Amino acid sequence: MLLWINGPFGGGKTQTAHEIQRRLPGSVICDPEHPGFGLRRMLPPELRANFQDLTSWRQGVVEVLDLALTKHDGVVIAPMTVTNSDYFAETVGRLRELGHDVRHFTLLAERETVMKRLRERGFGHLLGYVGGKNAGLRRETWAVQQLDHCLERLREPEFAEHLWTDHSTVPKTADRIAVLAGLKLRPNNEGALRTRLRQVGVGIRHIRFD
């Protein structure tokens, strides 16, 4: 089974994916951003745009996820924002055509909620302390620019199943996905402090500087 976790940038995809992976034995995260940023880095700076526009990215993601789903004995988790209908068909749709059990979920939240999360993710708290409350957002320029478009597009029926997360914690969102996908997660026995420290670590590991 593939769990494709969609949503706006800063919407909690990566944190939710890592929460599920932590509590679902045998599961793995296959992040489509990795080949995307690799392809982007191959290009001269003036040609670096949205890597999803590259056919090689869309085809490569399908090839790699097809291999993982065929050969790995466990659930595969892919946290990735996709708002273009054609690209969605070429990735999620194509994997379904290949016979894989793909469960797609879109994490949604109000704009104010996502903006707050963008300020806080990664080094956000430290940047806010040093450079002012909007310092973290300056690093998240791309995500902020795409936010309104993402929220509008991802509300469309084609991107169901929709999960609103404004008043949900990451562990609770993971629980909801597991129930809807028919999976059983291990109990979440972490305390609030340990959960927060782990989530900060995940955020730091996923900071992109290009």
Residue 169 in domain: yes
Supply the pLDDT for residue 190: 83
136-172 residue pLDDT tens? 454 467 788 889 999 999 999 999 999 999 999 999 9
| Residue 9's CATH number | 3.40.50.300
Rounded average pLDDT over 2-7: 98
pLDDT digits (tens, 9 = 90+) for 81-97: 999 999 999 999 999 99
Residues spanned by the domain of 175: 2-205
| pLDDT for the residue numbered 126 | 43
Burial 59-98, CB ≥16 within 10 A → b, else e: ebbbebbbebbeeeeebbbbbbbbbeeebbebbbbbbeee
**What is the count of structural domains for the chain?**
1
**Residues whose CB is less than 8 angstroms from the CB of residue 199 and which lie 6 or more positions away in sequence, other chains included:** 15, 170
The single-letter code of the amino acid at 194 is: R
Task: Tell whether 133 is covered by a domain.
Answer: yes
**Structural domain includes residue 210:** no
pLDDT at 132 over 50: no
Q: To which residue do tokens 């998240």 refer?
A: 140
Question: Cβ(141)–Cβ(41) under 8 Å?
Answer: no
pLDDT tens digits, 193-202: 777 787 777 7
Listed ranges 16-25, 127-136, 197-206; the one with the highest mean pLDDT: 16-25
Q: Cα–Cα distances in Å, from 10 out to 15, 89, 116, 145, 191?
A: 10, 23, 9, 12, 23
Q: Are the C-beta atoms of 40 and 210 separated by less than 8 Å? A: yes
Q: pLDDT per residue over 61-85, tens digit each?
A: 999 999 999 999 999 999 999 999 9
The per-residue pLDDT for 140 is: 61
Q: What is the mean pLDDT of the chain?
A: 89
Is 34 a residue whose pLDDT tops 80? yes
**Looking at per-residue confidence, does 178 or 144 come out higher?**
178
Residues 6+ apart with CB under 8 A from 155: 108, 162
Select from 105, 122, 121 the least CA-distant residue to 165: 105
Q: Would you state the structure tokens that stand for residue 6, as one six-digit string?
A: 């969609």
Residue 142 inside a domain? The answer is: yes
Question: Any idea how long the chain is?
Answer: 210
Task: Work out whether strand 28-29 and strand 76-79 pair parallel, antiparallel, or are unpaired.
Answer: parallel
Q: What is the pLDDT of residue 119?
A: 85
Q: Is the pLDDT of residue 130 over 50?
A: no
Q: Which of the two residues, 53 and 123, has the higher pLDDT score?
A: 53
